[in-house]
Amino acid sequence: MRRWMLGAAATLAVIVWSVSDYMRWRALGVGGLPPTMWGWLRVTHMRIRAGDPFSVRTDGVAHPEIAALPARSSPRPAIAPHPVPHRVLDQHASADLVLDLEGVFDDFIATADSSIEYRTSSWERHNKALFLTASPRWREGARLEFGHFHPSDGSMHVILSPADAAIVVERSWGELHPLAGKMLDLPATYTLLYPPRDRDDLTVVRTILQAALVATAERSAVA
């Protein structure tokens, strides 16, 4: 009888945790997987593969603008334990800053002479993302997406060079996706940028986004 009661209590605890965790995951919004119990089960399995988001390989030399970035003055935001969707739990950008952030992304389109375009993110599958426009300059099969933002919290994902990613992480502007280089065909430097706190942070975002553009072009170019 005692063994049965212990088993029942353990089963109940698992059910309660699962329902609670499922609801927390659903609250993060859409991004990459369907918001269903099946999607949650897949994400729960992915958590086993999660890596250290602050461990970055430092190959190569950082772009000068990235090397000159100051350290972010605030503590890092809390990050949801679910790798998909990859979101912050606090320090969300205000609605006005999210609009300004969208303007930063729009500026890349406006000044690019058709070499950059908006398309649906290959990874998020819901949010629009910045892509290099298809061209014979890029090798076949190259990943041309270099950045997108999440309207729900103002965070972003960018694909940087290893040296640039190391500085961005070290100076607390972001962290690696826990599955970067491990699953979902995510590049090893698939980096989450924290939401902007003010308009000064938007200048930093612009600098990092430009570095992501350059890194993607260098990585994708035909040799």
Query: Residue 48 above 90 pLDDT?
Result: no
Q: From CA 112, how far away is CA 10, in angstroms rounded?
A: 58
pLDDT at 7 over 60: no
Distance CA(110)–CA(217), nearest Å, equals 18
Q: How far apart are CA 204 and CA 73, in angstroms?
A: 13
pLDDT tens for each residue of 165-199: 999 999 999 999 999 999 888 999 999 999 999 99
Residue 159, pLDDT > 90, answer yes
Residue-range domain boundaries for the chain? 3-220
Q: Which residue has the higher pLDDT, 95 or 83?
A: 95
Q: What is the pTM of this model?
A: 0.88
Please tell me the predicted confidence (pLDDT) of residue 210: 96
Instruction: Please give the Cα distance from 27 to 41 (Å, whole number).
Output: 15
Integer Cα distance of 30 and 163 in angstroms = 31
